[in-house]
A = this chain, B = another copy of it.
Amino acid sequence: MSNDRLLARRDLEFMLYEWLKVDQLAARERFHAYDRDMFDSVLDLAEHLGTEVFAPINRLLDENEPRMGLDGRVIQPPELLTALRAFGESGLIASTFDEEIGGAQLPYAVRSACMTYLAAGSLATYAYPFLSEANAHLLVTHGTPGQIATFAIPILEGRWFGTMCLSEQQAGSSLGDITTIAVPQEDGTHRVFGSKMWISGGDHELADNIVHLVLARTPGAPVGPRGLSLFIVPRHLPDGSGEPGERNDVTLVGLNHKMGYRGTTNTLLAFGDGAHTPGAQAGAVGFLVGEVGSGLPIMFDMMNEARIGVGAGAVAVGYTGYLHSLAYARERPQGRPMNLKDASAPQVPIIDHPDVRRMLLAQKAYVEGGLALVLFCALLVDEQLTASTDDAAAEATLLLGLLTPIAKSWPSRWCLTANDLAIQVHGGYGYTRDFPVEQFYRDNRLNMIHEGTHGIQAVDLIGRKILRSSDGLRSLWTRMERSIAAATAVGGAPARHAAALAHHIAEVKAALEDTREVEALLANATSGLEAIGHVVVAWLWLEQECVARSGTGAFYEGKRSAAEYFFAHELPIVTPLLDTLRRRDRLFLDLDPNSL
């Protein structure tokens, strides 16, 4: 449909206005300054930045990964700094924040659509502001007014960046094993000692300062996650006027060399090793956020935002890969229709071959399904903030909690598959670095790993979000039943798909409602995550199909075809995926690891 290879603007507008009716949000107090034209202007700005500023440097960053100079500073292409300054000046980073702290109170749904342009343009460039925004959001929610003014505002003004520092060598997925310590000082600050690894954006020369949010243990704190507290540890301590002053004792120890996502520095940091403050009092200066011992739940506010952001990034990279392979398939002549025997007939564009169409439709189903998922989650954030009743806000919170592991994991899994198919559509060309799709694949591969691996998301969904309380799932089923009723009333393909969805919902219920043998259930949690993810995305495709049902023209026809693809080729795997959960299969539990 679109010749634009970054994102399909037409689709974004379909999702925002025709399906989610985001323009109606303008009737709410928080968003009173907006109308659809203004939303479109912000989308224009994001599209411009993604297309003209981010996308042009994406390959450059891949080919010139960060390295450490002799002075210990990170060396990166200067074009990255230029792009990030342009983004900083756009004001987009503060767009959703309250007006009283310099924000623009843009709905999250619109903001998320905008950010998809940036991530599609250059995921590794976008990672810096993406983490910084989530960092500022945590500070605004949990910080003191002084902390907000000192640390969050410079981020929202686009001048400073922020990180999240959780992992340590011995504590990756197992955060309770963090050993970094924070020793309280008489002046109310703490001194932080320890090593953190996998810190994205942990050091660079791209901003005036870096605000690290560091999980650490206070002396005498209980073992495990409950002993963790959260600290602001800036790279430079702010001076009297709030400007970056003396260097804090945070040292870049090493840079990771990654398969992709190379423009984002990924660092090993030492806190309080004395390298930057020889002779001074030992330790990196840290400022406690919230209460002692409440570090993990506070950090998870940022983590949950990051998880949905990871999903959104995966969608964006999948989406641009789809459009690149679509353009290639329209342009590349090769072969002839299978039933044409005339070898002298001209070759046809490969989009005419059924198997190429399969690969394109699959990508479309993944990336537009994934986009629907992340935009729906963003709208739930808007609902939390502005729903007309407390009950509606609470329901949005519940649903968002349930959907977060799905919004993180489903796009990371399936939009990666989309990138894989984008390579395949290109054939040998797709395997070369002359085309961008191989980088998309390498960049996107990280998303199943960071901010909680795929398996961690599965345990979060089945263990924490479903087994502990059925409220979230019940709320989801209620919404789905409403969609099913509407689609059934429509008749035709939507009604057929509604029946299929109802069938698979019943399968999920049958697999999960019996809460015996929880251990065996959790042992198959990943299959459950993938099954429920497919059910959720099928629901969102049913929603899109119903909106598109009476539309004329190629765009709406494409929506209907992609929905048909998803229901015919994707959703049926739910049945075998759920089988091991239903049977409480113990293969993974009873296995003798020595037999591997």
Contact = CB atoms under 8 A, between A and B. Distances in A.
Interface string A42-63: 0000000000000000000000
B595 A568 contact: no
Interface in A135-175: 167, 170, 172-174
A361 interface: yes
A176 interface: yes
Query: Residue among A172, A423, A568, A595 with the most chain B CB within 10 A?
Result: A595
A315 to B, nearest CB: 17
A170 B554 CA distance: 30
A: contact size bracket: 35 or more
B525 A361 contact: no
Contact of A333 (B170, B353, B557, B568): B170
Contact of A576 (B222, B463, B575): B575
A595 B558 contact: yes
Contacts of A424: 448-449, 453-455
Nearest to A176: B343
B1 A596 contact: yes
A152 to B, nearest CB: 28
B449 A427 contact: yes
B522 A588 contact: no
Interface in A288-345: 326, 330, 333-336, 338-339, 343-344
A9 interface: no
Contact of A338 (B343, B351, B459): B459
A198 interface: yes
A555 interface: yes
Interface stretch (A73-81, A232-240, A431-439): A431-439
A272 interface: no
Given A343-B225, A557-B595, A257 B172 contact: no
A389 interface: no
A492 interface: no
B596 A360 contact: yes
Q: Which of A358, A445, A525 has the most CB of B within 10 A?
A: A358
A433 B258 contact: yes
Contact of A259 (B442, B450, B527, B573): B442
B225 A561 contact: no
A32 B249 CA distance: 74
A431 B258 contact: yes
Interface centre among A167, A335, A565 (most CB of B within 10 A): A335
B588 A427 contact: no
Contacts of A558: 595-596
Nearest to A174: B335
A526 B564 contact: no
A525 B589 CA distance: 37
Given A172-B334, A572-B575, 10 more contacts: A172-B428, A223-B344, A258-B431, A259-B432, A338-B522, A352-B593, A355-B525, A431-B446, A569-B580, A573-B573
Q: Give 4 closest A-B pairs by Cβ, nearest first.
A: A224-B343, A558-B595, A572-B576, A354-B523
8 contacts: A172-B427, A177-B347, A259-B431, A259-B442, A338-B459, A355-B526, A357-B588, A568-B585
Interface of A: 1, 167, 170, 172-174, 176-177, 198, 222-225, 256-261, 326, 330, 333-336, 338-339, 343-344, 347, 351-358, 360-361, 364, 423-424, 427-428, 430-434, 438, 441-442, 445-446, 448-450, 453-455, 458-459, 463, 519, 522-527, 554-555, 557-558, 561, 564-565, 568-569, 572-573, 575-576, 579-580, 585, 587-589, 591-596
